[in-house]
Structure 1
């Protein structure tokens, strides 16, 4: 199974980039991970929030194929423990999902068209985090999930 991590905007803070790179490097032992960073919209001052979400949706949906299993990282999504997330990933792999795409939207969330395309929504926490930090938290949790699946000692219960 291939995993794609699709984000609107680039990770800018060096300490976050370093942390993400650390987990991406570790993940190479378990899965093929593709990170796609879409450019943030430019000249958005004249656009409403809904117009921005619509334009971002066009960019997001262009990167998703009809057979991809799409999971939005969304505050209204299901909340899973690390063990439950590992079971979720494992179930998708066993269920012959060829590519699972995890998506982080822009600052105003997702357009209705992206919600309509999504197979699932996942919340990383009831708290709100910056989109930059979500990238680090997600890559760490993905790594943790694979160590749980493989029975490796990274995760402590």
Structure 2
């Protein structure tokens, strides 16, 4: 199975990019993992929030296959401890999926079409983080989940 993180817009901060790359490389030892960036929309000044979400939703939809299991990283999603997230991940790994896709939306979240397409929603926290920080936190938590599944010492209980 391939695990993919789909994001709107590139990471501008060099230090964040470097940290994300650290976990990206580590994850390659456990599972095929990809990060795919959908470029920011251009000329959004005249778009209201809903129009922007719809346009981003169309770009996201174009990247999805019917067989993909789609998880939105959304503030209203289910929260997990790291251990419970690793169990959730193991369940998905055992399910025979071809692709497990986690999505970080744009600045205003997701369109209704993307919410309807999603198979699940996960919240990393009740706090609000920048979209760029979420990339780092998610890749670290995914790495942590794999180390928990392999009983490796990265995660301390």
TM-score by length of 1: 0.99
CA distance in 2, matches of 1:24, 1:38: 18
Q: Which runs of 5+ in 2 are unaligned?
A: none
Give the count of matched residue pairs.
Answer: 157
- Structure 1 stretches (4+) deviating beyond 6 angstroms? none
Q: CA RMSD in A?
A: 0.5
What's 2:89 paired with?
Answer: 89
Alignment of 1:6-155 (within 5 A): 6-155=6-155
Q: Which runs of 5+ in 1 are unaligned?
A: none
CA distance in 1, matches of 2:154, 2:58: 38
In structure 1, the residue corresponding to 2:127 is in which secondary structure? coil
CA distance in 1, matches of 2:64, 2:130: 24
Question: How far is the alpha carbon of 1:96 from its aligned partner?
Answer: 1.0
Deviations 1:72-118 (CA, angstroms, capped at 9, x unpaired): 00000000000011001100111112210000000000000000000
Question: How far is the alpha carbon of 1:22 from its aligned partner?
Answer: 0.2
TM-score by length of 2: 0.99
CA distance in 2, matches of 1:93, 1:50: 34
